[in-house]
Structure 1
Amino acid sequence: MPRFLQPKKSTQHRVAAIALYRALLSRCSSAPLPDDDRVSLRNAIRNKFRRNRKIQSPYQLGLSFKAGYQTLDHLDASATGDATSTSILTRLVSQLPCALTRILPIKPRRETPPDPLKERLARLPPEKAVLNVRPYAQTSGPRHVPILASANGIPFLRLTKPQPPALSQVLHQRLERKTELFDTMVLLDNWWLPICQQEDKWDVLMNEQLKKREDTVRWTDAVRLSQSENREAYEKDLKKDRQITRKMQRIVDMETELALKEGQTIVRGRRRHPIRVIKPES
């Protein structure tokens, strides 16, 4: 284990400690000891592991593991009828301090109240929505020109960093809907449509064998209807995104024009390595 890594954060150390802890507790149940001694030994194991959980010294850890494995050997030997190991365990339990063998009181679980809804997660009223209030005619400080960005084809205005949680929530919902429409389209085209086509062929064969009149309703009709509805919903979302993109681009252009009139220099990209620098006309 590297010296810079704390033992409690090492996977190997945690696995070894938890395995030893569980083995000691399981052996206590089958140890040929009186009930009081068995309970005292179990409590001592729990309290000792709880006290030593923050030890970082390799020397102290080595002593703790050595004592634990020796106790485990005596528990295994006593379970097989070894009188020497049983007497050692009995003498060990009698020498344990009372503070180590007592049962720790169970702390009541603190019920944390649910976090109140943050203001940034609440949806803004229509009169304060970004697309309805921008561009600002006047600002109290430097004008921050928004950036038109896209998240997997979903347009949005990047106003500040870090990104507000409300905007992340909206983008997540829009992406979920977009993914759901695409998955539905793939499922209809590659799964349900071939199955329904085979069902229609089977119905034709059965009608020919039974000399029945062919049914006008087909299995594929429902799939075709679902495909049409899915396509309409997808195209409706695309049309809405195009309209929002035009509106956002108009806001960016107007904000840029106002910022240049106010004598500001607009930097796109990082300040040290800008992609584009727009300076006001002198």
Structure 2
Amino acid sequence: MAKVPRNFRLLEELEKGEKGLGAEACSYGLDNPEDLLMSDWNGTILGPPHSVHENRIYSVKMHCGDQYPDKPPTIQFVSMVNLPCVNQRNGMVDPAQLPCLANWKRENTMETILIELRRYMASSQCFALYRALLRETPHIQLPAEVREAWRPVADPLRHLVRRSFRRNRADTSPRLVYPALAAGYRMLALLRNAAQRDASSSPSSPSAHAAVLRFLASRQAERRRSLAAKEAHPPYSRNPPKPSSAPREGTLPLLRRIGPSEYETPHRPLPSSALSGTGRRRVPHVDMAGDFPFLRLTKPQPALLSRILTRKIRRRQRRFDAAKAMGEEGVADAELEDEWERSVRNLSENGGRWRAEWERTAREMQGRRGGTVPETGETTYREELWRNGVQYIHEQLTREREDQVARARALRDLVIRERELAEKEKAERKAERRRRWEEKMKAMGAEIPNETDERSQTSKATF
């Protein structure tokens, strides 16, 4: 893969920075317009909202070395800023503490670094809150039964703090970050009030300590419900069973072979008494997947059916590839082998008169244009490869095609019978509704119109 040279890459970034095509929260440009090597750059970062850096503008200097963009540039803050990744003495950014510099990629740009620094400003207070919460958790004295209920977790409060921050670490929107920080500071105040600094002292606020215990009890109940739901639904558990393509117990085959290219459906259509749900027959339809017909009964498509169709399609594709490889390359190699065998046989029979035979064989090989296998009295490599390789695979594909046509014919007949039964059952339901309506009208003493009169009145109303 071609690499963009250093100067071309810097010219592209310079054009993007001067035209203001990047992010609005940061900007960058050359420190000295006469610098032909384009090594020194200036950048500005607008402080993120809802943080201590809001409405502040920070200036940085960036130096792109000779190996840029294979290696990251050096970053130095000109403005004073309090960040864990910035050296407070000289303003240099520690590459090991900034993810985009620690895991530098050639695709990264100076704009990427500025955006990452701005995001780091917004997350610094999250780190401070995280460390403050973890410092308070060891001072909360928990009863033995609470610790026993949370096993194998050693410290439940520490575990919940880490899980909450891990769950919300991808949130960058102020709409989500600000309420999360507010809830975190409320929890920090609660933990400080419930803290017990030494073994002989009591909690600062017994009500706060009771609130912490209630919080743990609610999370424990939620944990039990989650574990019970996972056990009740194995696909969503931690160790779901591996899917199997084996027939499930109690299922009946849809098709049964009764001849070389003939199938029947012994168990369908189902009687109306065996229909589930509303009791109304839903007519299936025949669908195709890679020229393999199947009966679509429900949606979404079952995973077992998808695996079987995928396996059939891949097996047929492997046969196509094998036949193509043998027809294009294998036959030519077999012809060369036959010519070699013929030349060796002629050499052994004719002694030294082999050169004229070799020249004639070479001319025949140059003039050959392929085609069907000639019927000769001897068995050659080419004939064996064609008969036991190419023709055999073609016969398998033909038999498979005929079998799929027979299956499609049986499925089509099943759909026709299902549709006829659905129309018949619909007419029966209509007649049953008519009968119940007539009985109701007779019980009320009303006159019952004939169906022909109703149809004539409907046609007159239509006109």
1:227 deviates by 2.0
Alignment RMSD (CA, Å): 4.3
When residues 191 and 61 of structure 1 are mapped into structure 2, their CA distance, relative to the original with a 3 A threshold, is: same
**5+ residue gaps, structure 1:** 4-18, 25-43, 51-57, 66-98, 100-106, 265-281
- The corresponding residue for 2:64 is none
Letter in 1 for 2:402: K
When residues 185 and 211 of structure 1 are mapped into structure 2, their CA distance, relative to the original with a 3 A threshold, is: same
Is 2:385 aligned against 1:260?
no
The Cα offsets for residues 179-220 of structure 1, whole Å up to 9 and x where unpaired, read as 1111111111111012111221222122222217xx944212
Q: Is the 8 A contact 1:127 1:133 kept in 2?
A: no
Taking the TM superposition and a 5 Å limit, the aligned residue runs for 1:208-227 are 208-211=346-349, 216-224=378-386, 225-227=388-390
Moved more, 129-138 or 143-152: 129-138
- The corresponding residue for 1:115 is 240
Look up the SS of the partner of 1:189 in the other structure. Answer: helix
- The corresponding residue for 1:77 is none
1:175 to 304, 308, 313: 313
Question: In 2, Cα distance between the equivalents of 1:169 and 1:63?
Answer: 44
Is 2:346 aligned against 1:203?
no
Question: In 2, Cα distance between the equivalents of 1:261 and 1:114?
Answer: 48
User: What TM-score, normalized to structure 1?
Assistant: 0.52
Taking the TM superposition and a 5 Å limit, the aligned residue runs for 1:3-22 are none
- The corresponding residue for 2:408 is 245
Question: In 2, Cα distance between the equivalents of 1:2 and 1:258?
Answer: 65
When residues 23 and 239 of structure 1 are mapped into structure 2, their CA distance, relative to the original with a 3 A threshold, is: same
When residues 177 and 48 of structure 1 are mapped into structure 2, their CA distance, relative to the original with a 3 A threshold, is: closer
Question: In 1, Cα distance between the equivalents of 2:296 and 2:414?
Answer: 12
When residues 243 and 124 of structure 1 are mapped into structure 2, their CA distance, relative to the original with a 3 A threshold, is: farther
Question: In 2, Cα distance between the equivalents of 1:203 and 1:193?
Answer: 15
- The corresponding residue for 2:32 is none
Aligned length: 183
Letter in 1 for 2:382: T
Letter in 2 for 1:61: L
Q: Is the 8 A contact 1:192 1:223 kept in 2?
A: yes
Taking the TM superposition and a 5 Å limit, the aligned residue runs for 1:136-151 are 136-138=270-272, 139-140=275-276, 141-151=279-289
Taking the TM superposition and a 5 Å limit, the aligned residue runs for 1:6-85 are 49=99, 61-62=117-118
- The corresponding residue for 1:156 is 294
The Cα offsets for residues 15-37 of structure 1, whole Å up to 9 and x where unpaired, read as xxxx99x969xxxxxxxxxxxxx
1:156 deviates by 0.6
Is 2:398 aligned against 1:235?
yes
When residues 122 and 205 of structure 1 are mapped into structure 2, their CA distance, relative to the original with a 3 A threshold, is: closer
Q: Which has the higher contact order (CA 8 A, sep 6+)?
A: 1
Question: In 2, Cα distance between the equivalents of 1:60 and 1:202?
Answer: 69
- The corresponding residue for 1:135 is 269
Q: Is the 8 A contact 1:155 1:241 kept in 2?
A: yes
When residues 155 and 60 of structure 1 are mapped into structure 2, their CA distance, relative to the original with a 3 A threshold, is: closer
1:260 deviates by 0.6
Question: In 1, Cα distance between the equivalents of 2:419 and 2:381?
Answer: 56
Question: In 2, Cα distance between the equivalents of 1:59 and 1:173?
Answer: 47
Question: In 1, Cα distance between the equivalents of 2:347 and 2:99?
Answer: 79
The Cα offsets for residues 153-181 of structure 1, whole Å up to 9 and x where unpaired, read as 11111111211111111110110111111
Higher helix share: 1
1:230 deviates by 1.1
Letter in 2 for 1:133: H
1:146 deviates by 0.8
Question: In 2, Cα distance between the equivalents of 1:136 and 1:231?
Answer: 38
Q: Is the 8 A contact 1:193 1:220 kept in 2?
A: yes
Question: In 2, Cα distance between the equivalents of 1:211 and 1:241?
Answer: 54
Look up the SS of the partner of 1:262 in the other structure. Answer: helix
Question: In 2, Cα distance between the equivalents of 1:130 and 1:208?
Answer: 62
Identity %: 23
Look up the SS of the partner of 1:203 in the other structure. Answer: helix
1:245 deviates by 1.0
Look up the SS of the partner of 2:295 in the other structure. Answer: strand
When residues 254 and 59 of structure 1 are mapped into structure 2, their CA distance, relative to the original with a 3 A threshold, is: closer
1:63 deviates by 8.4
Question: In 1, Cα distance between the equivalents of 2:310 and 2:404?
Answer: 15
**5+ residue gaps, structure 2:** 1-21, 25-67, 74-93, 101-113, 122-130, 132-161, 163-236, 256-265, 351-376, 428-454, 456-463
1:133 deviates by 2.9
User: What TM-score, normalized to structure 2?
Assistant: 0.33
Letter in 2 for 1:222: E
